[in-house]
Amino acid sequence: MAIRTILHYPDKRLRDPGLPVTDFGPDFQKLVEDMAETMYAAPGVGLAATQIGEAKRLFIIDVATGDDEPSDLRVFVNPEILERTGDVRWEEGCLSFPGVHEEIDRAERVKVRAQDREGKPFELEADGLLAVAIQHENDHLDGKLMVDHLGLIKRRLVHRQMIKHAAE
């Protein structure tokens, strides 16, 4: 396993959409392991392959954030959000936006279809942090970032903050 470099906004590669995963072989398994190690080291609750420069439709989430909670790694490959219901405003962060926390409007609940790391299809209904994380990470696979959900003024402030961060 290896910790990979997480791309920071405004790296243009974050805008590259992920391509469907068709090969679940050893290279892919290694990528999933690397992503898990990278996410836990950061630490973060979610990481998309596009955030480490791998243009693949793959993200991982672990919302077991308590110190004494066992880890609960979930792997989503070729995900598709089938249903979004309700509204919730959630303060989000992103490993590609260090130091940035912004409230973003999301659906309260989602139903998602995806494949696991072995390629086996599954469906999942989620709410709370897991639902928000699924929407956030799924956005990454389309090259969409948290900043795209903000109004113009906030977006400019975050942009400036990130340019400043990159220069430090």
Active site residues: 137
Taking the complex as a whole, the smallest distance from the CB of residue 146 to Ni ion amounts, in Å, to 6
User: Is the Cβ of residue 111 or residue 144 nearer to Ni ion in the bound state?
Assistant: 144
Taking the complex as a whole, the smallest distance from the CB of residue 136 to Ni ion amounts, in Å, to 5
Which residue is at the shortest CB distance from Ni ion? Answer: 94
Alpha carbon separation from 3 to 36, 52, 67, 126 (Å, rounded): 9, 10, 21, 28
- Beta carbons of 84 and 72 less than 8 angstroms apart: no
Taking the complex as a whole, the smallest distance from the CB of residue 109 to Ni ion amounts, in Å, to 20
CA nearest to 60, candidates 137, 146, 139: 137
Q: Where are the beta strands (DSSP E) in the chain?
A: 46-48, 58-61, 74-85, 88-92, 102-106, 109-115, 121-127
User: Is the Cβ of residue 31 or residue 92 nearer to Ni ion in the bound state?
Assistant: 92
Q: Which residues bind Ni ion (CB under 5 A)?
A: 94
User: Is the Cβ of residue 24 or residue 40 nearer to Ni ion in the bound state?
Assistant: 40
